[in-house]
């Protein structure tokens, strides 16, 4: 079996949408683990919208990617060789790792996952960072109460889908906003959303939202910002809560985006808006992971994955996020596990 | 002694700044209290910026004033006649009452105040609604920690002054923004603010703020909104908190104000912004009043009052709020107490 190693480097800071020319595939040797380390073979890697922000050389959620260094992100891998207690060859692990086929990492940098609880890919989605983002943003900032109306932008993404289903579990009316009729239909028919709106085809988004939210909006889980959010903001109720999870404007921070001032609406409605990142809740990841896995097991939390095959197709999968091709979590399959 | 009664009615919904022609002084009889009521003589009444919003026929913090009805607001008065247990003639009370020289009110609609604890006018200022607004907005939403930097717009107003002094008590660096050199000097020299900026004369407000806040802004207590806030927002630190207390844009809600989108800044900094109104904290007024009165007694909390004499000068006093004439709490003295 060939054990060639490969990594993907960022070689240019993209202007606007990245192209494959901004990245470089490089052959490298397979490293040897030192004491306390494991050698991990990448099985699946996660591509996420927030990574676009890290490709800029500007302040964002997290530090920018360095030029001529490998991209990093969520990876599920298999331990090939272990020099660390508690991990052995064949174990499946998840962590924030480099985009490499093989890499060594400190045993503290990965978490062992139990493949019998849920498919291993869910550690990158519904029970991983996107699921935890939904869980803490909705429950800790949104604080949903039975009978309240929850609106979600980017509702068919990996985070939005989980937000909507947790809101249903909590007894809320759930309205999703997404960008295709197929997504809209999926949200309502498969995930049980009360309504969903295609913002690309709605002639009057605010009117469509008003119809879908006859009692106004108590929680707006904002994954996108911009004009979609402008429409939702005009419909918020007194004491509304707005977890702020993503903003299109972040992808192009050279220009300051201009729009309607939201402070008067926040003041009149005594409303709260809070930006957050899932790592704010690192101390509660165990709780969140356990609850999400339980809901998946009970069939209360469905998930969707779009899997592209092959390390060489990673950038293509990443770019697909921005044209809205994925339904649910977008993953790249890099290798098969050696055993199941 | 003449006991003519008079009231001030709102007779037009003002466009822009009100004029005296929007109001009417009307002679009325002095009413008789029914069982459970008291007859109250107005001693001092409070004029506040938020009242401008209530003169519009649009959604604001609180319901609009009704046309051809008396304006209402904070009043300190003296009980002239009581048909309610627990209150007797000569008692000093505070409540949200009509702009009348005399009125009857349910005993539940007023609170008895102890004139020996602090001057009775402070029940409309530093230990009244403005003080409580500062107390709960700063402590409950802002959550100041020692060493943090707190910026306050409208810093020389009745709320802003108290915010700054509480922030100093909590060990913060305090930077005020106000609209005259006299106010700036008062904030720094009399109230112990670490720095203060005159936004009207600053050639580059952001640069001036940056110099005054070398460690960035952890809490921004926003009394004004608009371009002053735009400048502050660009300097917020990670996990900043922004209690939203007032917005100039509210006075002219027909037009949607346009400005820089703040959501990207909130997301990058995982920051919180929350609109509030003091009545959100009604259950904790006892706690707040007690603490504020204690700080006044200990000399830790200074206050300033601008008192206009005469019921007939009420509107003039109100309009002065918008040209920045007042330092601290603006009051109108309507009558002397009959005893001290």
Residues of A in contact with B253 (CB under 8 A): 264
Does any CB of chain B come closer than 8 Å to the CB of residue A275? yes
> Tens digits of per-residue pLDDT, A308-337?
999 999 999 999 888 777 788 999 999 998
The confidence score (pLDDT) of residue B1 equals 39
Would you say how long chain B is, in residues?
Answer: 340
One domain, residues B214 and B325? no
Number of A/B CB contacts below 8 angstroms equals 111
Does any CB of chain A come closer than 8 Å to the CB of residue B1? no
The pLDDT of A17-31, averaged and rounded, is 94
Does any CB of chain B come closer than 8 Å to the CB of residue A59? yes
One domain, residues A241 and A270? yes
One domain, residues A45 and A71? yes
One domain, residues B64 and B170? no
Out of A170-174, A196-200, B302-306, least confident range: B302-306
Does any CB of chain B come closer than 8 Å to the CB of residue A246? yes
Residue A32 has pLDDT above 70, yes or no: yes
Q: Are B124 and B329 in contact (CB under 8 A)?
A: yes
Question: Is B285 among the domain residues?
Answer: no
One domain, residues A194 and A221? yes
Six-digit token pair at A171? 């007894």
One domain, residues B18 and B116? yes
A225 to B258: CB separation less than 8 angstroms, yes or no: no
Does any CB of chain B come closer than 8 Å to the CB of residue A229? yes
One domain, residues B137 and B268? yes
Closest chain A residue to the Cα of B278, Cα to Cα = A270
Does any CB of chain A come closer than 8 Å to the CB of residue B223? no
The DSSP bridge partners found for residue A271 are none
One domain, residues B17 and B115? yes
What's the CATH code of the domain at A193? 3.40.50.720
Question: Is A296 among the domain residues?
Answer: no
> Tens digits of per-residue pLDDT, A247-277?
876 665 556 788 999 999 999 999 999 999 9
The confidence score (pLDDT) of residue A58 equals 73
Would you say how long chain A is, in residues?
Answer: 340
Does any CB of chain B come closer than 8 Å to the CB of residue A266? yes
The confidence score (pLDDT) of residue A280 equals 93
The confidence score (pLDDT) of residue B323 equals 78
The C-alpha torsion from B19 through B22 and B28 to B33, rounded to 10°, is -90
Run means of pLDDT, 10 residues per run, chain B, 340 residues? 82 89 95 97 94 80 87 96 96 96 96 89 94 98 98 94 98 96 95 97 97 98 94 97 85 73 93 95 94 93 94 94 81 86
Question: Is A290 among the domain residues?
Answer: no
Interface predicted TM-score of the whole assembly (ipTM), two decimals: 0.87
Does any CB of chain B come closer than 8 Å to the CB of residue A255? no
Task: Give the integer Cα–Cα distance in Å for B58 and A239.
Answer: 18
One domain, residues A90 and A206? no
Q: Which of B280, B295, B312 is the last residue of a domain?
A: B280
Mean of pLDDT over chain A: 92
Question: Is B291 among the domain residues?
Answer: no
One domain, residues B59 and B202? no
What's the CATH code of the domain at B115? 3.90.180.10
Q: Counting beta carbons within 10 angstroms of the beta carbon of residue A151, is it exposed (0 to 12), middle (13 to 18) or buried (19 or more)? A: buried
Task: Give the integer Cα–Cα distance in Å for B42 and A63.
Answer: 61
**B285-297 helix and B129-136 helix, angle to the nearest 10 degrees:** 100
Task: Give the integer Cα–Cα distance in Å for B243 and B222.
Answer: 6
Does any CB of chain A come closer than 8 Å to the CB of residue B26? no
More reliable by pLDDT, A17 or A65: A65
B274 to A271: CB separation less than 8 angstroms, yes or no: yes
Residue A218 has pLDDT above 50, yes or no: yes
Task: Give the integer Cα–Cα distance in Å for A215 and A320.
Answer: 36
Does any CB of chain B come closer than 8 Å to the CB of residue A206? no
Does any CB of chain B come closer than 8 Å to the CB of residue A62? no
Hey, which bits of chain A come out as E strands?
A: 5-10, 23-28, 37-46, 69-70, 72-82, 92-98, 102-106, 111-112, 149-153, 173-178, 195-198, 217-221, 236-244, 258-260, 272-275, 305-309, 329-333
Under the banding of pLDDT at 50, 70 and 90, the label for residue A126 is very high
Question: Is A340 among the domain residues?
Answer: no
Task: Give the integer Cα–Cα distance in Å for A25 and A10.
Answer: 9
The confidence score (pLDDT) of residue A1 equals 39
The confidence score (pLDDT) of residue B59 equals 62
Question: Is A292 among the domain residues?
Answer: no
B258 to A257: CB separation less than 8 angstroms, yes or no: no
The DSSP bridge partners found for residue B221 are B152
Residues of A in contact with B249 (CB under 8 A): 261, 263-264
Residues of B in contact with A244 (CB under 8 A): 263, 266-267
Residue A36 has pLDDT above 70, yes or no: yes
Question: Is B293 among the domain residues?
Answer: no
One domain, residues A98 and A133? no
One domain, residues B135 and B272? yes
Of B60, B266, B274, the CB nearest to A244: B266
Query: Containing domain of residue A30, as a range?
Result: 5-125+304-333
Closest chain A C-alpha to B267 CA, distance in angstroms: 4
Residues of B in contact with A229 (CB under 8 A): 263
More reliable by pLDDT, B197 or A340: B197
A229 to B59: CB separation less than 8 angstroms, yes or no: no
The pLDDT of A79-84, averaged and rounded, is 97
Q: Domain count of chain B? A: 2
Closest chain A C-alpha to B249 CA, distance in angstroms: 7
The confidence score (pLDDT) of residue A204 equals 97
């Amino acid at each position: 079996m060939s054990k060639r190693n490969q990594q993907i480097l960022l070689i240019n800071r993209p202007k606007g949408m990245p192209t494959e020319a901004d990245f470089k595939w490089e052959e490298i040797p397979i490293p040897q683990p030192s004491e306390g380390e494991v050698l991990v073979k990448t099985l699946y890697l996660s591509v996420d919208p927030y990574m676009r922000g890290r490709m800029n050389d500007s302040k964002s959620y997290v530090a920018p990617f360095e030029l001529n260094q490998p991209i990093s992100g969520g990876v599920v891998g298999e331990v090939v060789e272990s020099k660390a207690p508690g991990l052995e060859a064949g174990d499946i692990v998840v962590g924030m790792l480099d985009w490499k086929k093989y890499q060594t990492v400190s045993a503290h940098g990965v978490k062992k996952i139990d493949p019998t609880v849920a498919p291993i890919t869910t550690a990158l989605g519904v029970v991983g960072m996107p699921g935890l983002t939904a869980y803490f943003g909705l429950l800790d900032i949104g604080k949903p109460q039975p009978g309240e109306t929850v609106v979600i932008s980017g509702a068919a993404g990996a985070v939005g889908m989980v937000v909507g289903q947790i809101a249903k579990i909590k007894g809320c009316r759930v309205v999703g906003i997404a960008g295709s009729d197929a997504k809209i239909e999926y949200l309502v028919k498969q995930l049980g959303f009360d309504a969903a709106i295609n913002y690309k085809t709605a002639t009057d988004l605010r009117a469509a939202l008003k119809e879908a939210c006859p009692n106004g909006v108590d929680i707006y889980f904002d994954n996108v910002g911009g004009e979609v959010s402008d429409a939702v903001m005009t419909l918020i109720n007194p004491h509304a809560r707005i977890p702020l999870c993503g903003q299109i404007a972040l992808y192009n921070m050279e220009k300051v985006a201009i729009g309607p001032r939201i402070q008067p609406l926040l003041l009149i409605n005594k409303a709260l808006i809070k930006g957050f990142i899932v790592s704010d809740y690192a101390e509660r990841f165990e709780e969140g992971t356990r609850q999400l896995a339980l809901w998946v097991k009970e069939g209360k939390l469905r998930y969707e994955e779009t899997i592209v095959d092959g390390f060489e197709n990673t950038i293509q999968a990443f770019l697909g996020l921005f044209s809205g091709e994925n339904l649910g979590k977008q993953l790249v399959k890099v290798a098969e596990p050696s055993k199941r």
